[in-house]
């Protein structure tokens, strides 16, 4: 139990297959130390904002990895005199010109400040961090399931695994569903039916798995959605890789603040995740 | 090169216990971590006799200029640590200081004795912020309690013993004096101040899984300055000063007050290389204004 | 209308001692001050037996989300206060609580006895953040020391006696328990945390004329929350909670933890009407979410 | 001694004449509570900035009185995560349209933030506070002596007492001397001689008093300048009203933080000043 706290390969334990996030050979390392960079571009997608950030010296991130971002100026002085700590964001896309895209939803002082940034403004960036997605196990077709701002890591993953991927996205309403434009060809569900299927994205998932359960699920979104996906996957014995969230102070394993409970105890999401196998929960 | 408790160090900046995990950092940054290790010595997170999983999440709360943590000292326990972590930490390019804690005096003795035997370890830091299960007193908050602890522990300490004091006490100077008289080789301060936050979504409920937590970062710097100064004026022991240090200027302030080493904690969360930057800034300042051996400040009224 | 120690109050917000001077405020704002007095009761700045001029300037240092003060308790002394200030404070539209302090037990007895005789005074607040000149201990930092003080003082208290605790102690709950067992009618907390700042223009020198000072404002709120909760869980006495309160939400948090009254200090420096705003915001919140008589929070591990 | 701490009329004591700042009948009272208002205009005078602020509901201030200012947004998050407390500023001018002018010099996070404000931005204002200047005693001609940003209270005072006033202003150099444009007809001294007399403004004052000592001095500026003025005035037994500065938290007598030492002990500059008689020091 306790051994899992340091993370590392012990965690797999009773799981049907080893947890790749913990054993995977492919983890792109972050340069040591945060880098001062610049915002190049920003675009709106309904309530969401995509910022494009220069990162000429950084490596190409793995899909599912994340970065810690800090505005170079006025990081502090927002609501409750915050933010103070950096904030974690999944990489949305990495471009050949050495720029990175991030998808932001303004939910508090940190995201609010980052959403304010204009082209030319400075920000600090640490990453890529954590353990990303791993390819589907043999003869399983990938199904990508996203909710709200949680679609971010699915975009770069869809780019990587290509046409094969079926993508199902859930949003509150049509306005939020504008975010779906980031993943062409995705099927959409909205809570209020104002666009696409009326209901939960997990309904679409169930339907898909009904036709053919030989799939591997890649999911990112709000807690309740991920729990629903995990339940479905575990009941059918289908592997599901969940890109999870938790409050983070450091992003590189220093503070032990970001733990999530797994069947093997608490693991630090920033180093043993953010992608966690549903079977491990 | 400087010397601290007989250990030779490249500079005066170390990490604060529990705020940098060299093993996890190596997973994130690879060997680049070793090429440019930010600290002159590496201080481990607290190790206890039995394994601890730590507190339930959420474990973090952000404050204006700081944070509260209720991590709950997760660690593998002595056996697991000796087996798995110590060998890996032995590979670090800098001396290793192991931080230990126990809620029974016998536990502390066993921890101190065990680590004293290991060559990977250059010094021990004793975290006394926990209650003594027998007396119920926080071991480091009461001079008599600390004296009694040190009297049984010091004979087993085969390495320099640094007492990591708690700021949640009436008189840090009295506690430091007890540490000095009862055989400690150095003191380090400040640890986190007890604090808590309410859950914004559940009125009346605490946010942190552990209920209360410890406050750190710039928000505690003013308190750290006065406790370090108070201690420095009372004891001749070497002092490791910490609490909200973000810049070489902050580190230099502590040096001016008489701290021998300066530890960087929360600031490393904002940048893993913060320690290196602060060491460079401090070096530049020490060149410009050499720090005084003794603090220049006179005794002061205790009334506000 | 609510009741506190038998005093009827319009609402639950009072000023923190030493952070509002009704006499000076009347010079600045005239009678408008009375028409819209922000506090349900007025708490005086600490009065000592002999006059005090206070500490040399500078007396203020600004922090992220707070400040350090080293005012040094300037006051006219008992005689001057009785002669000049009390009559003017008697004109206030709200009950008067006089805060007193002495470094000899006899001094405290004389202060308490003298103010107990005056009709202008509704209650007494006893500031125990000073050292006892005989024992050298901070009167409010040690349960035995406080017990001994109260045993001689309480018999002379003809008005409800509120003990203003110091946060610079190992266990606020133990101190509060001593206050309860030895006859205090209520406790108020937190007072300022000991802190200091360095002079940006003179390396190594403290900025404040008094050397050290007291930290207050939002920067201490997390610490206030945990101390108030710890005390509330131990004693049944009425509690006046304070420390960094800036909004009705902050006040409501303290109410949820079991505080009967909430005091506003540093925030009044940003706006003299802050107390009124906070009282209105709190009233709205108490309507929306009635505060629990007892705190909902369970006991928590003391380790971080 | 101690009695002076509460301020009030006791202070005069041994002084040749009562200290009018403490006994004067004319103190314009501040409305109780800070007011949310707007920045209307900002202009540059060399390194100084003049901001014009709306204050329709406030009274007309006395010359020498001051206000506590706070930006409505982002007050905090600057250098060292400051400012937190409001900042004190002498009123430069009060206009018939209910606006107030303030003169700012950017010396730290508070003044820096206020200098950033643009027309339409909100700020909180408390005042007018403190005790201003009082008219010259009979058959004494007023001489106004200002240094740097300290010219602010002299402008409104010059407007009030009119042509009679001789104004002497000292600045570091010609660039800073652009501030002199705020008080037409003033005589100028600069440290480097790049404009007007080369030397200290107190040299000009000495020369003036040499011709005719029947004067009353009104001075505001850096500490050393005020000390020099006080020495001159006290030696010649000439009354001098000094508009002083000290660090303030509240501005209305609540914190006891702003004391200055007088011969009668510490007085709170915010209620017993900011104008203090040189003879009282
Ligand atoms: C691996 C990872 C990837 C992520 N990827 C993305 C992404 O691609 N896009 C995106 O928009 N977001 C992403 N997030 C979430 C993002 O990091 C958070 O939304 C952000 O940190 C919120 O910060 P804030 O200051 O804006 O809001 P906060 O104020 O921090 O609010 C967020 C939540 O924190 C809690 N909270 C409130 N006050 C405090 C406080 N004082 N201290 C601590 N907690 C508090 C509340 O529950 C609140 O709902 C990711 C998170 C992780 C861990
Ligand atoms: C009655 C009165 C009238 C005034 N009128 C004017 C005016 O008309 N125009 C004008 O420009 N100014 C005026 N001032 C001065 C003005 O109030 C100050 O310049 C301002 O408060 C500085 O704030 P800041 O944050 O910009 O700089 P600060 O950072 O506060 O720096 C100012 C000084 O404060 C000290 N200091 C540095 N850090 C801190 C800290 N953390 N806490 C406390 N002190 C610190 C240093 O000595 C520094 O030089 C007046 C002051 C008073 C009292
Ligand atoms: C997340 C976190 C974990 C900590 N864990 C420990 C610990 O295990 N042992 C210990 O002695 N101190 C621990 N501390 C206290 C720090 O070592 C340090 O004393 C304190 O944070 C003040 O320094 P700072 O303000 O620079 O962070 C921890 C602090 C933080 C923020
Ligand atoms: C400038 C200043 C002066 C104070 N003077 C006193 C005092 O005379 N007596 C006292 O008991 N507390 C005094 N205090 C402490 C306050 O009453 C209060 O306990 C503390 O400031 C915490 O509340 P706050 O964060 O809302 O300011 C003073 C605080 C400040 C900031
Ligand atoms: S965020 Fe610090 S350990 Fe994961
Ligand atoms: S500024 Fe607070 S008393 Fe003068």
Residue B252 CB less than 6 A away from ligand 3: no
Listed as ranges, residues in chain A with pLDDT below 70 are 1-25
Complex-level ipTM beyond the 0.90 threshold? yes
Place of tokens 């037409």: D184
- Residue A87 C-alpha, separation from nearest chain C C-alpha, in angstroms: 20
CA of A153 to the centre of ligand 4 (A): 50
User: What confidence tens digit (pLDDT) does each residue in B178-219 have?
Assistant: 999 999 999 999 999 999 999 999 988 999 999 999 999 999
A 10 A CB-CB count for D198 gives 12
Which CA distances in Å does C235 have to A210, A241, C172, C251, D80?
61, 50, 11, 20, 39
Query: Is residue D244's pLDDT more than 60?
Result: yes
Instruction: Give every CB contact of residue C113 below 8 A, 6+ residues apart in sequence.
Output: C156, C158
Listed as ranges, residues in chain C with pLDDT below 50 are 293-304
Instruction: Name every protein residue with a CB atom under 6 angstroms from any ligand 4 atom.
Output: C 16-19, 45-46, 69, 71, 73, 99, 127, 164, 190-192, 216-217, 220, 242-245, 264-267; D 255
DSSP letters for D54-111 = E-TTSPPPPTT-EEEEEESS--SSSGGG---S-EEEEEEEE-TTSEEEEEE---SHHH
Contact of C53 with chain B, judged by CB distance below 8 Å, is answered with no
Q: Which atom of ligand 2 is nearest to the CA of D79?
A: 29
pLDDT at A162: 82
Give dist(CA C142, CA C175) in Å, integer. 6
Please count the CA atoms within 13 angstroms of the CA of D230 that sit on its side-chain side.
20
Of C130, C97, C107, C12, the C-alpha closest to C50 is C107
pTM over 0.90? The answer is: yes
pLDDT at B13: 98
Query: Is residue D25's pLDDT more than 80?
Result: no
Query: Is residue B294's pLDDT more than 60?
Result: no
Give dist(CA D50, CA D46) in Å, integer. 10
Which CA distances in Å does B296 have to B253, B255, B293, C208, C296?
12, 11, 9, 14, 49
User: What confidence tens digit (pLDDT) does each residue in A124-141 have?
Assistant: 999 999 999 999 998 899
State the first-to-last Cα distance of chain A, in angstroms, to the nearest integer: 13
In chain D, residues with a C-beta closer than 8 Å to the C-beta of B64 are 76, 81
State the first-to-last Cα distance of chain D, in angstroms, to the nearest integer: 13
Per DSSP bridges, beta strands D87-94 and D99-104 are: antiparallel
Per DSSP bridges, beta strands C193-195 and C213-216 are: antiparallel
pLDDT band of residue B134 (cuts 50, 70, 90) is confident
Q: SS3 for C162? A: strand
DSSP letters for D178-234 = GGGGGSTT-EEEETT-SSSEES-HHHHHHHHHHH---EEEEEES-HHHHHHHHHHHH
Instruction: Give every CB contact of residue A138 below 8 A, 6+ residues apart in sequence.
Output: none
Q: Which atom of ligand 4 is nearest to the CA of C164?
A: 11
Peptide linkage before D83 cis (omega within 30 of 0): yes
**Mean pLDDT (chain D, rounded):** 89
Residue A31 CB less than 6 A away from ligand 5: no
Instruction: Give every CB contact of residue D279 below 8 A, 6+ residues apart in sequence.
Output: D15, D16, D17, D19, D233, D234, D239, D240
Which CA distances in Å does B182 have to B185, B266, C48?
9, 31, 39
- Residue A33 C-alpha, separation from nearest chain B C-alpha, in angstroms: 5
Per DSSP bridges, beta strands D265-268 and D259-262 are: antiparallel
State the first-to-last Cα distance of chain B, in angstroms, to the nearest integer: 41
Q: Burial code of A223-237, b = ≥16 C-beta within 10 A, e = fewer?
A: eebbebbbebbbeee
Question: Testing the interface with D: which of A73, A76, A116 to mutate, by most D Cβ within 10 A?
Answer: A76
**Structure-token pair, residue C201:** 């223009």
Whether the CB-CB separation of B176 and B237 falls below 8 Å is answered with yes
Averaged pLDDT, B139-146: 95
| Number of the ligand closest to the Cα of D111 | 2
pLDDT band of residue B301 (cuts 50, 70, 90) is very low
pLDDT at D149: 96
A 10 A CB-CB count for C71 gives 26
Q: Which of C52, C192, C218, C261 to mutate to test the pocket of ligand 4 (most atoms within 8 A of CB)?
A: C192
CA of D19 to the centre of ligand 1 (A): 59
Residue A272 CB less than 6 A away from ligand 1: no
pLDDT at C291: 64
Question: Testing the interface with B: which of D74, D77, D78, D81 to mutate, by most B Cβ within 10 A?
Answer: D81
User: What confidence tens digit (pLDDT) does each residue in D37-62 have?
Assistant: 999 999 999 999 999 999 999 999 99
CA of A23 to the centre of ligand 1 (A): 28
Active site residue ranges of B: 130
Q: Give me the catalytic one of C82, C89, C113, C130.
A: C130
pLDDT at B291: 64
In chain C, residues with a C-beta closer than 8 Å to the C-beta of B215 are 222-223
pLDDT band of residue B137 (cuts 50, 70, 90) is confident
H or E, element range at D36: strand D35-45
Instruction: Give every CB contact of residue D151 below 8 A, 6+ residues apart in sequence.
Output: D103, D169, D179, D180, D182, D183, D186, D220, D221
State the first-to-last Cα distance of chain C, in angstroms, to the nearest integer: 41
pLDDT band of residue D79 (cuts 50, 70, 90) is confident
Of D47, D59, D88, the C-alpha closest to D243 is D88
Measuring from atom 4 of ligand 3, which residue has the nearest CA?
A: B18
pLDDT at A141: 93
pLDDT at D182: 96
Give dist(CA C183, CA C160) in Å, integer. 10
Give dist(CA C164, CA C167) in Å, integer. 10
User: What confidence tens digit (pLDDT) does each residue in D194-232 have?
Assistant: 999 999 999 999 999 999 999 999 999 999 999 999 999
Query: Is residue D2's pLDDT more than 50?
Result: no
SS3 string, A243-279, reads: ECCCCCCCCCCCCCCCEEEECCEEEEHHHHCEEEEHH
Give dist(CA C177, CA C231) in Å, integer. 8
Residue A247 exposed, middle or buried by CB count within 10 Å (0-12, 13-18, 19+) = middle
Query: Is residue D9's pLDDT more than 60?
Result: no
DSSP C138: B
> Looking at the DSSP assignment, which residues form a beta bridge with residue C188?
C164, C240
**Structure-token pair, residue B281:** 């800034």
Whether the CB-CB separation of B2 and B8 falls below 8 Å is answered with yes
DSSP C292: P
CA of C151 to the centre of ligand 3 (A): 40
Give dist(CA C113, CA D107) in Å, integer. 50
Give dist(CA B88, CA B70) in Å, integer. 26
Give dist(CA A150, CA A159) in Å, integer. 16
């Amino acid at each position: 139990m306790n051994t899992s706290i340091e993370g590392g390969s012990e965690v797999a334990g009773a799981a049907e297959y080893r947890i790749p996030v913990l054993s995977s050979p492919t983890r792109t390392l972050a340069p040591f130390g945060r880098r001062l960079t610049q915002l190049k571009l920003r675009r709106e997608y309904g309530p969401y904002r995509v910022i494009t950030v220069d990162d000429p010296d950084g490596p190409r991130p793995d899909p599912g990895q994340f970065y810690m971002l800090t505005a170079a100026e006025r990081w502090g002085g927002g609501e409750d005199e915050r933010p103070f700590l950096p904030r974690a964001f999944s990489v949305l896309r990495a471009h050949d010109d050495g720029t990175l895209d991030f998808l932001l939803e303004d939910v508090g002082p940190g995201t609010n400040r980052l959403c304010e940034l204009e082209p030319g403004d400075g920000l600090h960036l640490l990453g890529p961090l954590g353990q990303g997605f791993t390819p589907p196990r043999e003869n399983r077709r990938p199904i990508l399931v996203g909710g709200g701002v949680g679609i971010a890591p699915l975009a770069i993953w869809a780019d990587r695994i290509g046409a094969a991927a079926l993508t199902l996205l859930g949003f509150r309403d049509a306005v939020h569903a504008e975010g779906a434009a980031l993943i062409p060809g995705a099927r959409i569900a909205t809570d209020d039916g104002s666009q696409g299927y009326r209901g939960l994205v997990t309904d679409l998932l169930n339907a898909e798995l009904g036709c053919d359960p030989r799939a591997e699920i890649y999911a990112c979104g709000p807690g309740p959605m991920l729990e629903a996906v995990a339940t479905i996957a575990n009941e059918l014995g289908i592997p599901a890789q969940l890109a999870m969230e938790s409050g983070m102070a450091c992003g590189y394993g220093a503070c032990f603040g970001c733990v999530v409970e797994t069947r093997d105890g608490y693991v630090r999401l920033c180093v043993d995740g953010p992608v966690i196998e549903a079977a491990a929960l | 090169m400087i010397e601290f408790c007989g250990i030779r160090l490249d500079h005066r900046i170390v990490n604060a216990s529990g705020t940098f995990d060299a093993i996890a950092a190596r997973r994130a940054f690879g060997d680049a971590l070793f090429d440019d290790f930010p600290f002159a010595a590496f201080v481990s997170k607290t190790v206890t006799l039995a394994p601890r999983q730590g507190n339930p999440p959420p474990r973090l709360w952000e404050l204006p200029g700081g944070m509260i943590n209720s991590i709950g000292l997760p660690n593998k326990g002595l056996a697991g640590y000796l087996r798995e972590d110590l060998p890996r930490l032995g590979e670090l390019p800098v001396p290793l200081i192991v931080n230990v804690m126990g809620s029974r005096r016998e536990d502390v003795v066993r921890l101190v004795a065990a680590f004293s035997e290991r060559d990977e370890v250059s010094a021990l830091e004793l975290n006394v912020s926990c209650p003594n299960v027998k007396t119920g007193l926080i071991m480091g908050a009461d001079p008599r309690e600390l004296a009694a602890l040190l009297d049984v522990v010091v004979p087993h300490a085969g390495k320099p013993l640094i007492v990591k004091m708690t700021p949640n006490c009436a008189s840090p100077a009295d506690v430091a004096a007890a540490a000095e008289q009862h055989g400690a080789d150095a003191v380090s301060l400040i640890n986190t101040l007890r604090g808590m936050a309410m859950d914004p979504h559940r009125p009346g409920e605490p946010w942190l899984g552990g209920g209360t937590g410890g406050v750190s970062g710039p928000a505690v710097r003013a308190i750290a300055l006065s406790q370090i100064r108070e201690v420095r004026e009372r004891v001749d022991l070497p002092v490791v000063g910490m609490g909200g240090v973000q810049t070489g200027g902050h580190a230099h302030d502590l040096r001016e007050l008489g701290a021998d080493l300066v530890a960087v904690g929360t600031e490393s969360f904002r940048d893993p290389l913060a320690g290196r930057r602060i060491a460079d800034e401090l070096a530049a300042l020490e060149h410009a204004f050499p720090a005084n051996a003794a603090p220049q400040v006179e005794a002061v009224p205790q009334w506000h």
